[in-house]
Amino acid sequence: MARNFISGTDKISIASTAALDIASGPVSLYGWVYLNAGSQTHMLISKAFGSGSSPNENPYDLATNTGASSNLVLKRADSVTTFTKSSTFTLNVGAWTHVAVTDLGDGTANNCKMYKNAGTPDLLTATTVDGGGNTKPVLIGERDAPEGGNCRIAWVGIHNVVLTAEEIAEAMYRGFTMRGLVGCWPLLGDSPEPDLSGAAQNGTVTITSGNIDTGYKNPTTTGSPRNDFTSPSNAFSSDDTRSTATTLGLKQDYATFVLGVPADATINGIEVSVEWRAGFSSSPNKNYLDIDLSWDAGVAYTTIKTQNQTAGDPDNYVSSGGSADTWGRTWAVADFSDANFRCRLSYGGEDDPDMRAEIDHLRVKVFHTQPASIVAGPPVLPLWVRSINEHLVAVKNVIDGFPGEGRLLGWRRFHQFLKTPQKTGVTEREIFNLNDLTP
């Protein structure tokens, strides 16, 4: 199982403790992440002020950047300097990926390492962060800013040592590893979220439900398939530079809104908001702007909605559609991809032939029902755990010797795990040989 963090306020919040406040020296962070959408920041874990970018006693902030194929980014800061480390590898949308970062904190080349699926790490220069820490909570799935993202997360761990490649692999396959562990949250659906480190630093769960929205998104491209307005890109932002239409029937398509609708969302409504004015005439004359939407790159469009403005009035936002208006059709999430979604503005009418439409800003918002907050997770634990109880504490013993009763002729290192069911009421403990198990 895993937690699905969709809105900008979804989060797990763990109160600050001295153990979690790793303001200098070595730190290791890891977790499983599944990006529901690209082209936006996705938060994994943060103990920082704001976005973690300013020198302000920020022990750690681990996130992706905003690229369509996202890189992993670690930030650590003290009162003087912010250190930012970015991976060369990228994370794919729609797939579980295990990510990890270790930082020795000594400023030495190759002593900051970033791992993807426990493979060969990116080797970076370690930070030299030397801070006093802060009392901010540890946040999973969100920043202090706030800035959340749209992703699924499971098995987050924090260590006060630099883990080896073997230990990173163990964390990937088993959920966590023990050396230097100061906090581990599996995100299997419990509330509060349990800490498996033994320190009982349980997390408060905040998950949005009901009809939520993407927030207003601006277009970033124009002209497919129609490109009739003058300076159409002037409508990308509200800055008093305007796109204009002077002849009835002119049409302008806008695209690449990067709407970020979650993959399993149910669409409830679409709002189109246009900041515009009627130019070159006087009251009471009006002109009219038609709006329709395409879900297949401009092959077909919805029915038209019409706005009007009175000449002489300043430009202002006028909205069409809304939280429960689907524009006459049932939408699929794929309809809102940058390849498919279009918003078309058309100069639809005027009371005075000298008038023109002047558009300062176009923005779109999609309303949807929150997907399930508890979803299928990554392939972390061996079958014995899943079949008995998914809320187990595993304590590893590493022993050098003969594993048992003369079955082996050679000396070797083997591993034992002590498993303790937490919720079934069973009090017995059972030791078993991990070498006899497969993931």
Q: Indicate the domain borders of the chain.
A: 2-209, 221-369, 382-436
Question: Do the domains 221-369 and 2-209 match in fold?
Answer: yes
Residue 72 CA to residue 114 CA, distance in Å, equals: 8
pLDDT of 180 > 80? The answer is yes
Overall fold of domain 2-209: Jelly Rolls (2.60.120)
Residue 187 CA to residue 377 CA, distance in Å, equals: 9
Q: What is the pLDDT of residues 183-219, one digit of tens each?
A: 999 998 888 999 999 999 999 998 877 788 889 999 9
Q: How far is CA 385 from CA 8, 87, 370, 412, 419, in A?
A: 33, 33, 30, 26, 9
Residue 267 CA to residue 231 CA, distance in Å, equals: 32
Q: Which residue type occupies 439?
A: P
Q: What is the pLDDT of residues 293-325, one digit of tens each?
A: 999 999 999 999 999 999 999 999 999 999 999
The tokens describing 376, both together, are 């299928």
Beta strands 211-213 and 2-5 are unpaired
Q: How far is CA 126 from CA 26, 43, 74, 87, 426, in A?
A: 9, 21, 11, 13, 45
What residues contact 92, with CB distance under 8 A and at least 6 apart? 35, 69
Nearest to 187 by CA among 27, 377, 366, 40: 377
Q: How far is CA 386 from CA 172, 324, 426, in A?
A: 16, 41, 16
Which pLDDT does position 77 carry in this prediction? 93
Which pLDDT does position 189 carry in this prediction? 87
Which pLDDT does position 381 carry in this prediction? 57
Assess contact for 289 and 276: CB atoms under 8 A: yes
Q: From the CB of residue 184, how many other CB atoms can be counted at a distance below 10 Å?
A: 25
Residue 149 CA to residue 72 CA, distance in Å, equals: 14
Assess contact for 197 and 160: CB atoms under 8 A: no
Q: Any idea which of 43-57, 117-131, 328-342, 408-422 has the lowest mean pLDDT?
A: 408-422
Q: From the CB of residue 404, how many other CB atoms can be counted at a distance below 10 Å?
A: 10
CATH number belonging to domain 221-369: 2.60.120.260
The tokens describing 122, both together, are 């990116």
Cis check: omega of the bond before 225, within 30 degrees of 0: yes
Nearest to 36 by CA among 16, 64, 55: 64
pLDDT > 70 in the chain, percent: 85
Beta strands 251-255 and 2-5 are unpaired
Q: Which residue type occupies 105?
A: G
Residue 53 CA to residue 114 CA, distance in Å, equals: 19
Q: What is the pLDDT of residues 368-391, one digit of tens each?
A: 987 768 888 998 754 333 333 333
Q: How far is CA 94 from CA 186, 188, 342, 344, 376, in A?
A: 20, 19, 23, 29, 13
pLDDT of 403 > 60? The answer is no
The DSSP 8-state label assigned to residue 20 in this structure reads: T
